[in-house]
Structure 1
Amino acid sequence: MKALLLSLAQAAMPHLMLAPVVLPLVTAALMLILREEQQRLKVTLNLLSTALGLLIAVVLLFWTNQQGLPTSLGVYLPGNWPAPFGIVLALDRLAALMLVLTSVVALASVLFASARWHRAGVHYHPLFQFQLMGLSGAFLTADLFNLFVFFEIMLAASYGLLLHGSGRARVQAGLHYIAINLAASALFLIGVSMLYGLTGTLNMADLARSMPAIHSNDRGLLHAAAAVLATAFLIKAAAWPLNFWLVPAYSAATAPVGALFALMTKVGIYALLRLWTLLFGTESGASAWFGSLWLLSGGLLTMAFAAIGMLGSQRLGHLAGYAAVLSSGTLLAAMGFGHNLLTGSLLYYLLGSTLAVSALFLLSDLIDRWRSDGSGTMPYEPLADEAPFLDAELVPAPAGMNLDDEEEVLVGRVIPAAAAFMGIAFLGCTLMVAGLPPLASFVGKFAMLTAVLNPLGMGASAGYQPGWPGWSFLALLIASGLLALIALTRVGIRHFWAAHDRAAPQLRLVEGLPIAGLLLACVLLTVAAEPVLRYTQATADALHSPGTYIRAVMSTMPIPSPHTEATP
């Protein structure tokens, strides 16, 4: 199977790199032509397009991980102009990894929405595809201006998706969401303009190549431009104190939209990781690892804020929102250390935590519906021959019987299959968000802690000490997991253990499959931890040694014109 995928990729490359952007664009345009009443056809098109996008992303992932090559990197020139003058798309291991993650979450989201949520408003399916187009373009683009363009496509679609279903809460949260993202976009443009004024280019590889040559008198302006640009990305990554908008907005959105929005914070993380390792790596001269302390401190504060927020929350939607913030804070703090071994571990953690948060958003909708509809386990009615054991005044309870608080015999009740599934799924989400064994989040956290506390693994001398950054990260990683466990356990007891008078929940297959699929992906990440960690470590090594990326982008030449070749 792998050989077949690789052969298909080799035959179609590099044009296959365009598919993650062009496929959702064409699908969205086609669905806009259809009438709104043709919902069944739109659902089918959306599912088929998203599933095909997942297949393409997997093919690209295998292509970037070919055996025997230190790195596999594809470069495509859509306008047939060389860098830095034309638009460039670049596919490396990191971009392919994010494309696969996006496609998996998107497929689960659209499948869940097909049960009922897609009918809550108009143009859900075209907006969904435009969102995928913006996400994919952001991961593939190799210059800052087109990164801004794809960000705006992604955000414009997210405005409509957030308001999908209407209602006062969604409109209020949507206005806040739009305002803060417009401010972030303005900061993005300001930072990009300052960088262009200093370097005369917006191509990422060309920017990285020009960093060591920046005059010392311009270093302050360069750092100011980078700080402005980073602020825009930190807003999107939900870093404290710029994340006050996220929990109200994500919890107000419909469940499938919230699951898809779990990827939005990771776009900010991706942009920071991509640009920081390119522009401020070890080869950037006096600006090497500029802002690392800010990233580390901001990540630690974000972790503390999210953990306290989870402990103070009662609603499942808010818990899922704070779980997304906790994941982002953990990634930012780990990124701030600037070590390739830690970067490989955080990329593995990014996969598992994103899948878990998306599953929690979907599951929260089912649990809230169960609770609001008054449906749950049917009250138990004893049979005639059981009556003596339930009346303590008539017949004393036999020795060895389990009794409840009212000294009545506990009789086993059959748990409905839907309630059992939701309970097991909630347990899986709890283990993943809290980072408990044996699932993937625990493996990711353990790998990060090993990288921080192991002096030889960090490339340091035997006398190396983690210092306050390492010990603070260790303490917050453990404490945040404990607080998340307490918060989710408390909510789980209230919804599953303390509910006695509710009928069995109504669960459709298309609602259970996406949640089961996301949690199964978490299990597969755990089982395949070794090969996945090898892939993420190779990704991190390439990020921290960007020379290959820079050479590949800058050396790719346009395809000669047939008319030019025919000229003597």
Structure 2
Amino acid sequence: MSHLPEFTAALMPHLMLAPIALPMLTAALLLLLREEQQRLKFGVSLASTLMGLMVAIALLQWAHRADTAAGMGVYLPGNWPAPFGIVLVLDRLTALMLLLTSLVALCSVLFSGARWQRAGVLYQALFQFQLMGLSGAFLTGDLFNLFVFFEIMLAASYGLLLHGSGRARVQSGLHYIAINLAASSLFLVGAAMLYGLTGTLNMADLAQAVPQVSQADRGLLHTAAAILATAFLIKAAVWPLNFWLVPAYSAATAPVGALFALMTKVGLYALLRLWSLMFGAEAGPSAQFGSLWLIVGGMATMAFGTIGMMGSQRLTHLASHAAVLSSGTLLAAAGFGQTMLSAGLLYYLPSSTLAVAALFLLADLTERWRNGGATRPPYESDDDAPFLSPELVPTAGLNLDDDEQVLVGRVIPAATAFMGLAYLTSTLVIAGLPPLSGFIGKFAMLTALLNPLGLGSSAGSAPGLAGWTLLVLMIGTGLVALMALTRSGIRHFWAAPHRPTPQLHVFEGLPIALLLGICVTLTVQAEGVMRFTTATAQALHTPDSYVRAVMSAAPQSGPLAPASAGTPQPPGKEAAP
């Protein structure tokens, strides 16, 4: 038993394969099952997603352990050292994104079990392939493999977007496919140019190679980085490259829309990861390259998302524009390169993503309720209900509404009350109002803007024009988002009192409660979460530990034993110490 902790410590790095291998094997199994076996498919997909969540929690705990060097884990699937072999890297940022992916995926699978998985074929298999692509994109330490996982993720998303058929989905799906194919082409061009300049696509090796690029090739390096960043910015929904997002996301089915709320964060993650590695403080003349473009683009995206929310009449459009607003806020904050500002945005990232995902699910329930999809009560209209009838209820001295129906003592159906409270909670988080986690995340970012501490700044210095502009935008967009969400809430929950009671399946209510419950948990545990995001931001802006961990990872000479001195090495590369 004394060797059990050592065995567990040696086994944990191998668990890094699970977020990729588990959904891949699950999708293969689901493809073997007949379409008539919907319940079995749902059970298999749900069990796999739940296992993925447990794996993500274990990896997060392992990455955040005090005795784990810099919260880093490196795995060599081909047993070749970097930069020659495939590398999977786990740090606090990766673990956070994996956990967020697993949470949203679990809620999406649960919601689909009520009805949407039966609207087309191969839904659960495509869903698992999507998870495989997402997890691989977060774990990989190599640009080429990042492209591979992007394509797996996008190929699955094409099928998921078209799930349920219909002209709107097909039309939006074609636009979505065309835009993402163009982004993939830009990805390949930028990666090829970087490889031609540096001779490597390993992210840690790129961090070492960028400062050594000659001055004559520096302009070409910046051009390659800009092309690559454009591909990521398209996926991160930056204005004006986000015209495809709202039609596509609003046309998707509710569980797919909830999962797509996470898709924009993949582009943001890629930007954060590569920008901090390639253009950090040690990048020489290229330090902080592109930061102004990120700030300006993020601010423009915030303005576009807010205007779109004010102009939205449908809840799905409102949720799509809320996703754009969230992405713009995160992009603008990331461009400042400040540690504490990055800590605030990393706290805000899961809160906004979970709230937008919940809003997509709520939109489906609300639209179905509004369109009379629920079974009507046993009486002809709400006015015929005994507890509302003027003949049966004495009205003297009681508060009446415009139709002279009793207000005091009127029973609110549980399903209606749940949907109303869930909508209110989503509104508070998205608008960034107290006391929930959206407010805490925005407050942390505003505090960091007023007391900048990062590259090129000192503690207590003025925030500058860009800082003041972002501060005003964050407050202003929050207020406008509140007005848009409140107006929509009045129309859907208040202005139509005579609708029938909505029918709410347990598989529809539970995921919404889970998503918003996590937002409440983030609020209650704000101190611990902020400590985690601060440590994550510090590691992100000081990437030396990342580079050392990846470049010094030695191949294994046995299943769990460390490499020996006689381990074969690739030609021209000595074993790392």
* TM-score bucket (shorter structure): over 0.9
Aligned equivalent of 1:238: 237
Closer, same or farther: CA 318–9 of 1 in aligned 2, 3 Å:
farther
CA distance in 2, matches of 1:277, 1:33: 43
Amino acid at match of 1:154: M
Deviations 1:242-291 (A, max 9, x none): 00000100000000000001110000000000000000000110000000
Amino acid at match of 2:474: L
Aligned equivalent of 1:43: 42
Deviations 1:77-136 (A, max 9, x none): 111111111111111111111000000000000000011100000000110000000000
Closer, same or farther: CA 496–193 of 1 in aligned 2, 3 Å:
same
How far does residue 493 in structure 1 lie from its aligned partner after superposition? 0.6
Aligned equivalent of 1:372: 371
Aligned equivalent of 1:471: 468
Aligned equivalent of 1:394: none
Closer, same or farther: CA 324–133 of 1 in aligned 2, 3 Å:
same
2:340 touches 2:453 (CA, 8 Å); kept in 1?
no
Aligned equivalent of 1:141: 140
2:101 touches 2:262 (CA, 8 Å); kept in 1?
yes
SS at match of 2:121: coil
1:381 aligns with 2:401: no
Aligned equivalent of 2:510: 513
1:303 touches 1:325 (CA, 8 Å); kept in 2?
yes
CA distance in 1, matches of 2:14, 2:280: 31
CA distance in 1, matches of 2:387, 2:458: 76
Aligned equivalent of 2:314: 315
Closer, same or farther: CA 11–243 of 1 in aligned 2, 3 Å:
same
Aligned equivalent of 2:486: 489
1:9 touches 1:63 (CA, 8 Å); kept in 2?
no
2:388 touches 2:406 (CA, 8 Å); kept in 1?
no
Closer, same or farther: CA 461–54 of 1 in aligned 2, 3 Å:
closer
1:341 touches 1:458 (CA, 8 Å); kept in 2?
no
Deviations 1:284-334 (A, max 9, x none): 100000000000000000000000000000100000000100000000000
Aligned equivalent of 1:251: 250
2:422 touches 2:512 (CA, 8 Å); kept in 1?
yes
1:195 aligns with 2:194: yes
Closer, same or farther: CA 31–412 of 1 in aligned 2, 3 Å:
same
CA distance in 2, matches of 1:143, 1:361: 33
Amino acid at match of 1:415: I
Aligned equivalent of 1:550: 547
1:330 touches 1:477 (CA, 8 Å); kept in 2?
yes
1:86 aligns with 2:85: yes
1:389 touches 1:409 (CA, 8 Å); kept in 2?
no
Closer, same or farther: CA 388–100 of 1 in aligned 2, 3 Å:
closer
CA distance in 2, matches of 1:289, 1:487: 36
CA distance in 2, matches of 1:6, 1:121: 47
CA distance in 2, matches of 1:525, 1:201: 39
Amino acid at match of 2:362: L
1:374 touches 1:502 (CA, 8 Å); kept in 2?
no
TM-score computed with the length of structure 2 as normaliser: 0.92
How far does residue 166 in structure 1 lie from its aligned partner after superposition? 0.3
The runs of 5 or more residues in structure 2 that have no matched partner are: 569-577
How far does residue 403 in structure 1 lie from its aligned partner after superposition? 4.0
Closer, same or farther: CA 385–128 of 1 in aligned 2, 3 Å:
closer
1:335 touches 1:346 (CA, 8 Å); kept in 2?
yes
Amino acid at match of 1:239: V
CA distance in 2, matches of 1:384, 1:208: 71
2:49 touches 2:106 (CA, 8 Å); kept in 1?
yes
CA distance in 1, matches of 2:130, 2:423: 28
1:60 touches 1:96 (CA, 8 Å); kept in 2?
yes
1:451 touches 1:457 (CA, 8 Å); kept in 2?
no
1:54 aligns with 2:57: no
Identity %: 69
How far does residue 69 in structure 1 lie from its aligned partner after superposition? 4.7
Amino acid at match of 1:364: A
2:92 touches 2:536 (CA, 8 Å); kept in 1?
yes
1:337 aligns with 2:340: no
Amino acid at match of 1:100: L
CA distance in 2, matches of 1:523, 1:58: 18
Matches within 5 A, 1:127-526: 127-373=126-372, 375=374, 379-381=382-384, 387=390, 398=396, 401-405=398-402, 410=407, 412-455=409-452, 460-461=457-458, 464-526=461-523
Closer, same or farther: CA 212–26 of 1 in aligned 2, 3 Å:
same
1:77 aligns with 2:76: yes
Closer, same or farther: CA 327–143 of 1 in aligned 2, 3 Å:
same
Amino acid at match of 2:302: M
1:362 touches 1:515 (CA, 8 Å); kept in 2?
yes
Amino acid at match of 2:469: S
The runs of 5 or more residues in structure 1 that have no matched partner are: 392-396
CA distance in 1, matches of 2:259, 2:5: 29
1:296 touches 1:335 (CA, 8 Å); kept in 2?
yes
2:398 touches 2:408 (CA, 8 Å); kept in 1?
no
SS at match of 1:75: strand
2:62 touches 2:68 (CA, 8 Å); kept in 1?
no
TM-score computed with the length of structure 1 as normaliser: 0.94
Q: How many residues align?
A: 557
Amino acid at match of 2:157: S
Deviations 1:190-210 (A, max 9, x none): 000000010000000000001
Aligned equivalent of 2:573: none
CA distance in 2, matches of 1:139, 1:463: 35
CA distance in 1, matches of 2:402, 2:509: 35
CA distance in 2, matches of 1:66, 1:334: 28
CA distance in 2, matches of 1:110, 1:561: 38
Deviations 1:12-44 (A, max 9, x none): 221111000000000000111111111111101
CA distance in 2, matches of 1:545, 1:406: 65
How far does residue 72 in structure 1 lie from its aligned partner after superposition? 1.9
CA distance in 2, matches of 1:447, 1:491: 28
How far does residue 521 in structure 1 lie from its aligned partner after superposition? 0.4
CA RMSD of superposed structures (Å):
2.3
SS at match of 1:273: helix
How far does residue 501 in structure 1 lie from its aligned partner after superposition? 2.0
How far does residue 380 in structure 1 lie from its aligned partner after superposition? 3.5
Aligned equivalent of 2:574: none
SS at match of 1:314: coil
CA distance in 2, matches of 1:345, 1:148: 29
Amino acid at match of 1:61: L
